[in-house]
Structure 1
Amino acid sequence: MKRTLIHTLTFLLVMGSAQALAEQHTVKMKNSGNDGSMVFEPGYLEASPGDTVKFVATDPAHNSVSEAVPEGAEDWSGSINEEITVTLSEEGVYVYKCVPHATLNMAGVISVGKSTNYDAAKAAVEKLSNAAAANQGRLTGYFDNVAKP
């Protein structure tokens, strides 16, 4: 009984410590920023498994929707003007966009640990970039920061 209690308390302490180490990142959805018009800021982010990203509607008429996520991770789809918090549960590359401004290449990349889904993420970046009428090269520039597996 005593040994089980010690193991349980140790487990809870370790789990609590892991959650305390998780970081919350903020990505602003903006009409204009350092990388131009209709932009997520930052557009490229490095994080660790278990971290969260809070997408903040700094300017109106934006949302965040996943375009590619690693296997085992959950897709997300925020409504227009909605702040949404996403947990980065798996290692890999997360590619996301603003639906109303996707043609303006309002999209971003999050790299979490090893780029386990590099090829799928690259294909998503190419698809979004090829469909964009403005801000050419911005999203591929973000993706260039991702380490090849």
Structure 2
Amino acid sequence: MTPTRREILGAGGGLAAALSLSSLAVSGGEMIEVKMRGRDDGSHVWFDPIGILIKPGQTIRWTNLNPGNSHTTTAYNPTNFERPLRMPTAAKSWDSDYLLPDESFSVTFTEQGVYDYYCIPHEHAGMVGRIVVGRPEAHDWTELTGANGDLPEEAVKAFPMVEDIMTKGIVRRA
């Protein structure tokens, strides 16, 4: 039996819809790449993407693609230089130490919630990122706004909104 034009178009539309939904949260098991970037003159540094939605059990790998700088990916957690807690309390904290150009570091996220992180030498320049794991309850991230304590103003302004990450799946720096 030969499919009709309507059946072919319907199948194509269903495939397009499925592909667009999969962009909201990256498929389970797939490694997610976050690039550490910067301008050649060092005037601007950032994580790309700055915000990402993943499923529990997924791994994120940060790679330093900035030839002129070393960077870190460091969780906001009191175990890391007594920084404020901006991640689920049951989750394991991380600190990559300094990554030279082309070096990488990975973390697997198992606890649902919102995770904020920063680059130690560039936090004051707003080099921060946010990871949303699963579908956390609103109270899981509204508490973060009260944990700004000693965060630099540029860092606080740079975080993408949780709602944007949950809607778009990936947020790149504007």
Same fold (TM over 0.5): yes
Partner in structure 1 of residue 88 of structure 2: 70
Rounded to whole Å, the distance in 1 between the matches of 2:63 and 2:162 is 22
- Higher strand content, 1 or 2: 1
Structure 2 residue runs without a partner (length 5+):
1-26, 77-85, 167-174
CA contact (8 A) 1:28 1:40 kept: yes
In the alignment, does 2:31 pair up with 1:24?
Answer: yes
Q: TM-score, normalised by structure 1?
A: 0.69
Paired-residue identity, %: 25
Query: What is the CA distance between 1:29 and its match in structure 2?
Result: 0.8
Rounded to whole Å, the distance in 1 between the matches of 2:155 and 2:144 is 19
Structure 1 residue runs without a partner (length 5+):
1-19
- Residue 52 of structure 1 aligns to a residue whose secondary structure is strand
Aligned length: 121
Query: What is the CA distance between 1:63 and its match in structure 2?
Result: 0.6
- Higher helix content, 1 or 2: 1
Partner in structure 2 of residue 94 of structure 1: 115
Alignment of 1:53-64 (within 5 A): 53-59=60-66, 60-64=69-73
Rounded to whole Å, the distance in 2 between the matches of 1:135 and 1:71 is 21
Query: What is the CA distance between 1:142 and its match in structure 2?
Result: 4.1
Equivalent position amino acid for 2:119 in 1: C
Q: TM-score, normalised by structure 2?
A: 0.60
1:103 to 124, 127, 135: 124
Query: What is the CA distance between 1:121 and its match in structure 2?
Result: 3.1
After superposition, the Cα gap between the structure-2 partners of 1:40 and 1:23, relative to the gap in structure 1 and judged at 3 Å, is same
CA contact (8 A) 2:28 2:55 kept: no
Q: Which has the higher contact order (CA 8 A, sep 6+)?
A: 2
Equivalent position amino acid for 2:71 in 1: H
Q: Deviations over 1:77-109 (max 9, x none)?
A: 011115210111111001000010000110010
- Residue 34 of structure 2 aligns to a residue whose secondary structure is strand
